[in-house]
Amino acid sequence: MQPLGKGYNSHCLCLDFESRVIPQESLRSVEILPRGTHCKSTEVIARLVSGQKICLNPSVAWVRKLVRYMMEKEAQQRA
């Protein structure tokens, strides 16, 4: 994935996607950037505990499950 350039949001950030499933424990965060004038696709960028940033494909099932799991896990914990 190319380094995040200065013009952070003046264009799409992701040129290609990581296809391998990322183990939860190596994830520091997942950032979702909605599509807009700067980029016609929603982008999902995972930041690993190593500090590395990788692009995930938002329309792939395991990526969507990952995001849903992260959100649901919190809700269950507080319920």
| Residues at the contact surface with a copy of itself, assessed by CB under 8 A | 9, 24, 27-35, 41-42, 44, 58-59, 64, 67-68, 70-75, 77-79
For a copy of itself, give the closer residue by CB, 27 or 54: 27
Minimum distance of a copy of itself from residue 24's CB (angstroms): 7
For a copy of itself, give the closer residue by CB, 2 or 76: 76
Distance CA 50, CA 72 (A): 25
Please give the structure tokens belonging to residue 63: 């990526």
For a copy of itself, give the closer residue by CB, 2 or 71: 71
Minimum distance of a copy of itself from residue 54's CB (angstroms): 14
Strands (E), 1-79: 27-33, 43-48, 53-56
Distance CA 37, CA 72 (A): 30
Q: Which helix (H) or strand (E) holds 63?
A: helix 61-78
